[in-house]
Structure 1
C-alpha cells in the first residue's frame, strides 16, 4: 500500500473511532435494555423468582415450558433484546413460557446445597406451574448447568415431567476435549483444585473469579480479539449497543453459593458421579435410567465450554426410547444470540413438542 492509501486508511479509522467515542458518550443505561419481553412474577422464595412471560398469540400447546438456566451468569441471555430473544420466539410460536431466575446469592445463602436448588426451588417452581395449569406434568427445558439440574430433577420426579429438553448440557464431565472439564478435575480429580479449601476460605465463590476462569479458556479471542473486531463496526450505534449489551451480560456474574458450588465441582467435575450412578441429591440417588420420557438433546457443534461429546453421552445412560438429537454449527453463546440459530431453534423445539402432544 502506498502512503496515500495508508493515510486514507488511517483517516477512515480515525473517523470511525471518533464516531464510536461520540456514540459511547451518548449511551445511557436505558439504551441497553435487557430482558424486554413482558413478564410477571408468579412465585418468589428467598432470592429465587419464577416468571411467567405474557403470551403473544393463542397457545398452540396446552402444556407450558419451564426454563431452568444455569447458576452462572444471568438467565436474561435467553431474552437478550427484542430482535434476539429465544423466549420471544417461543411465545410467537404459541408456547407458554416460565423461567426461573436464581437471583444473586449473598452471604446468607452460603449454606445452600444442590438439594435446596433441585429438591427445593426447582420442585417448588414446577409445582406452581402444575397448579396454575391444573396439570400433573409439564415440559422442562434446561440450559447448560440448568440442563444438568433438569436431568437430576427428571430422574427424581419423573411423574412431574412430560417432556424434557436439554440444551448445551454437560453430562459426561470427564471428556478431556473440554478445557473447563480439565480445569475442573477430569484428569487429576481432586488434585486439580482444592475445592474444599476454596469454599472454606471464601464462603461463596465470587462471580468475578468464575468470569475470569471462563475468559482464560480462550484468552485471546475473549480478552483481545473481540475488542479489535469492534473497530469494524464501532461507528454504527446499533452494533455498538449490541456489543455493550453482551458485555453487560458477560460481566453480570452472580456469586455462587459455597456449598452448592462445592458439591457441583466435586461430584460432577471431579467425580463424574452423574453417569457413574453415584450421585445423591438430598439423600436420594440420581439414576438417569429413571428417565423414560421423551428427550430432545440440543448441542452446539463448536462449544468450547460443553464439548459435544459431553452432551451426546446422555443417550447411553437414559432409558427413554424416544430420544432426539439436534445440533447447530455455533458455539456455546451463539446458541442464544445467533440470529440464524434463533430462526431455526424455536421452531425445532415447538415442532418436536407438537409431535409429543397427546
Structure 2
C-alpha cells in the first residue's frame, strides 16, 4: 500500500516518498501504454486440438521428451474459469513442467456455454464428454486405462467418473478437490447452502429464472469470500508493481484469467449445488449421474490426493475426507503451503508439485 498513507513521517520524507511513487506511476503508465491484448497471453504451451464435441475441445500438449510415459494424463478442470491456469505463462506452468518430466498430457477445455446449452447436465459432462475423451485417448494409445488428474470441481467430476468407470482409470490424481461439502467453517460451502439448504440459496428459483448462471455472478461470489484482499488491497498495491513490466504482466495475466469466467449451464449447476453442497450426497453414495450411482468405494485405482494448506475455497478437511470413502488401499496424500490458486502458479510449488506427480505416476505406470 502507499506508505505515506499508513505511517507518520516528516514532511521532507513524505515529499521524497511521493516523488518516488509518482515516478513509479509515470513508468507504469508508460508500460501500460505500449501493452496490447496479445502481450497478455495465457495457455502458452504448444498444443493441438485432437477431439471436439459440441462446445468442448480436447487438447494434447506437444510432448517434450522422446519417449513420454506410456499412459497419458488427462487433466479435468473445473467448469468455473478457464482451464489454462495450469498453463499460465512460461516459468509458471504446471503443464510445461509435467511435460519436461516425461508425461504425455491432455486437457479438456469446456468452452463457453450459451443459452442453447441450458439443459446440459452433469450426466452430459461426466458420462458424455469426459467418457468420450477418455475413450478417444485410450483408442489413440491402444490402452484400456488412462491416468486422470482432476482439479477443484474437475477433481470431484473425476471422482464420480472413476467410481462409475473404474475399469477405465489406471491412476487418479485429485488436486484441491472438494469431497466433504459440509465443513461448516468453509465460507464457500456455507454460501452454497451446506448449512441451511434451500433457505440459504434457492437453487431451483435461480436456475429457473436465469437459465444459465452468469460467470459474472460467480466471480462476485468468489471475490466476496475475501472482499478486502481480492477486491481492494491488490489494486491499492498495484502502483508498487506497475513500473516493473514482468510483474505488471503477471498481474494482468491473473486478472485476465479471473475475469474470463464462462457461464454455468443451468442443469449442471442445479445438480452440483443441490446434490453436492446442500445434500453432501457424494460421501453418502447418493449421487446419481444420469442412471449411474456414484459409490466412491468403487474407486480401486491408486489415488494421489493433493491439497493446499491455506486454501479458503476448498478447505484441507474437505479434501482429506476422501481417504474415508474410497475403496483403494494405494492412497497417498501431499500438502503444499499455499492457497487455492497458488497450487497452479506459485513458483515454490512449481519446483515440487510436478515432480511429486511425475514420480508417483512413474512408480505406478509401466514405461
Q: TM-score of the superposition, structure 2-length normalised?
A: 0.97
Map Cα deviations across residues 117-146 of structure 1 (whole Å, 9 max, x no partner).
Answer: 000000000000001100000000000000
Map Cα deviations across residues 62-119 of structure 1 (whole Å, 9 max, x no partner).
Answer: 1000000000000010000111111000001110000000000000100001000000
* Structure 2 counterpart of 1:224, from 232, 255, 258: 232
Checking the alignment, whether the CA contact within 8 Å between 1:292 and 1:320 is kept in structure 2 is yes
| 1:260 aligned onto 2:265 | no
The equivalent residue for 1:35 is 43
| 1:16 aligned onto 2:21 | no
| 1:48 aligned onto 2:89 | no
Map Cα deviations across residues 249-297 of structure 1 (whole Å, 9 max, x no partner).
Answer: 0000000000000000000000000001111001111000000110000
The equivalent residue for 1:134 is 142
| 1:357 aligned onto 2:365 | yes
Matches within 5 A, 1:165-244: 165-244=173-252
Map Cα deviations across residues 31-54 of structure 1 (whole Å, 9 max, x no partner).
Answer: 111111110000000000000001
The equivalent residue for 1:312 is 320
| 1:347 aligned onto 2:355 | yes
Q: Report how far residue 59 of structure 1 moved.
A: 3.2
Checking the alignment, whether the CA contact within 8 Å between 1:59 and 1:96 is kept in structure 2 is no
Shift >3 Å, 4+ stretches:
none
Q: TM-score of the superposition, structure 1-length normalised?
A: 0.99
- Tell me, what secondary structure is at the counterpart of 1:150? helix
CA distance in 2 between counterparts of 1:46 and 1:100 reads 12
CA distance in 2 between counterparts of 1:337 and 1:134 reads 34
Q: How many residue pairs get matched?
A: 358
Structure 1: runs of 5+ lacking an equivalent: none
CA distance in 1 between counterparts of 2:67 and 2:316 reads 33
CA distance in 2 between counterparts of 1:148 and 1:54 reads 27
Q: Report how far residue 60 of structure 1 moved.
A: 4.3
CA distance in 2 between counterparts of 1:145 and 1:189 reads 20
Q: Report how far residue 229 of structure 1 moved.
A: 2.0
Map Cα deviations across residues 170-199 of structure 1 (whole Å, 9 max, x no partner).
Answer: 000001121000000111012110000000
Q: Report how far residue 232 of structure 1 moved.
A: 2.0
CA distance in 2 between counterparts of 1:195 and 1:2 reads 56
RMSD: 0.7
